[in-house]
Copies of this chain bind each other. A is one copy, B any other.
Amino acid sequence: MDTKAPRPRTRIQTEKRELILEAALEVFSAHGFRGSTIDQIADAAGMSKPNLLYYFRRKEEIHETLMQRLLDTWLAPLKELDDIGDPLTELRSYIRRKLEMARDFPRESRLFANEILQGAPRIKPMLEGELKSLVDEKAEVIKGWMRAGKIAKTDPWHLIFSIWATTQHYADFDVQVRAVLGADRGSDGRFEDAARFLEQLFLDGLRPRPDRQG
């Protein structure tokens, strides 16, 4: 005999769950897990607390669902880092893609940062398993490029870290970036400036070199 068949999901259930997750992303990313209350999320989703708890039985369940979705989209750019094509171009577009994600999904970035900052209590196994495997695999690809003389020889793991750090910084430390750049420069051109800077940094560094064009 089979155990309880999991009921199919209603139209309303699908919609409302989506609404809740969107609201929860907003709230969790701004205040962290413990800093957020079910009431806040329910408010943001335009429903009552008991109603919200009808769709997600516990606060943790919302957070878990959110994290699972997040991780897929979050690692997608790295998965796309491929051995085909010019190495420098590949890296450059990886950096650009990560920077675009920081611009377009800052809440997701902050949700992730919050989790890691607190010691990753809920996703440590994933970090040590899935994430480590993926990074190790891509590190091998990068090592290949180095052996082939296509890019400078250096530590591929720390290279990946530095790309994560510099790009996500613009989402996670957004308030600080805005404050330092000021109202004028802190707005629209910000990400284009960052993209230009990071490209130059990762390609050529700071050591002055003779102008490559007249």
Contacts and interface: CB of A to CB of B under 8 A. Distances in A.
A14 interface: no
A17 B158 CA distance: 39
A8 B179 CA distance: 37
A47 interface: no
A93 interface: no
Main secondary structure of the interface of A (DSSP, over half): helix
A180 B179 CA distance: 33
Contacts of A21: none
A88 B196 contact: no
A152 B31 contact: no
A116 B172 contact: yes
A175 interface: yes
Interface string A124-145: 1001100110011000000000
6 contacts: A31-B118, A116-B176, A152-B206, A154-B197, A204-B204, A204-B205
A208 interface: yes
Interface string A21-51: 0000000001111110000000000000000
A200 interface: yes
A119 B207 contact: no
A177 B205 contact: no
Interface string A199-213: 011111111110000
Contact of A181 (B157, B197, B204): B157
Contact of A194 (B35, B158, B182, B194): B158
Contacts of A116: 172-173, 175-176
B180 A132 contact: yes
A155 interface: yes
A152 B205 contact: yes
Contact of A132 (B149, B182, B200, B204): B182
Of listed A35, A149, A176, A209, residue having the most chain B CB within 10 A: A176
A193 interface: yes
Contact of A205 (B157, B172, B203): B203
Nearest to A114: B117
